[in-house]
A and B are shown apart, each in its own frame.
Chain A
Amino acid sequence: QQPVQSPQAVILREGEDAVINCSSSKALYSVHWYRQKHGEAPIFLMILLKGGEQKGHDKISASFNEKKQQSSLYLTASQLSYSGTYFCGTERGAVLNRDDKIIFGKGTRLHILP
């Protein structure tokens, strides 16, 4: 039930790109992406609801594949502030049937070097 995130950790130099993947064995209702810095609360980045959807802001974007079983987070021209642990959270329930919870993957640690 827990989504699988890969890679577990990434080390980049400032300006390089990164892709973080999140996959499920079953079709999902939604995928949420969060970033957490050490000792802080997770911060919401974006949510994807539709198969084939792509969305993003600034240099961080994400996609949700047509089968709604995989999502990828794209970090372009990474900045030092992007360092942290990225979590994907998945829901399998429909919005009108709010009886499902958000289950998070184990996270991907991203470290940006100057």
Chain B
Amino acid sequence: NAGVMQNPRHLVRRRGQEARLRCSPMKGHSHVYWYRQLPEEGLKFMVYLQKENIIDESGMPKERFSAEFPKEGPSILRIQQVVRGDSAAYFCASSPGFRAFFGQGTRLTVV
């Protein structure tokens, strides 16, 4: 049973470009979380999704950020018109209902 898969592992974008981060949850997991982590800081909650449904997006910036978890395919975190402050590690976690399993993260660098 493969773990939570995130890709790409590293992503470099120029200011103003779009970043798309993908997360494939573990088989059978219907819940996905996205967290952002800045260097030497904690995991900041962004959004919590079920298939085709956003449960809680209270941690998402209101502009430029969006997330989806379609019926088929991975969950996508999309950042439009990236700025330098978006540079961070973005972790996805999936859950069957209890403990969360984390992916290896996508490290986004905006240049």
Contacts and interface: CB of A to CB of B under 8 A. Distances in A.
Nearest to A103: B45
B99 A104 contact: no
B103 A99 contact: no
A32 B95 CA distance: 13
B45 A41 contact: no
A58 interface: no
A32 B105 CA distance: 19
Contacts of B45: 101-104
B103 A32 contact: no
A64 interface: no
A30 B100 CA distance: 12
Main secondary structure of the interface of B (DSSP, over half): strand
B91 A42 contact: yes
A98 B31 contact: yes
Interface of A is mostly: loop
A99 to B, nearest CB: 5
A79 B35 CA distance: 29
A89 B42 CA distance: 11
Interface string B15-54: 0000000000000000101010000011111001010000
Interface of B: 31, 33, 35, 41-45, 48, 50, 55-56, 59, 91, 93, 97-105
The 8 tightest CB contacts between A and B, nearest first, are A106-B42, A41-B102, A101-B48, A104-B43, A107-B42, A42-B102, A41-B104, A44-B99
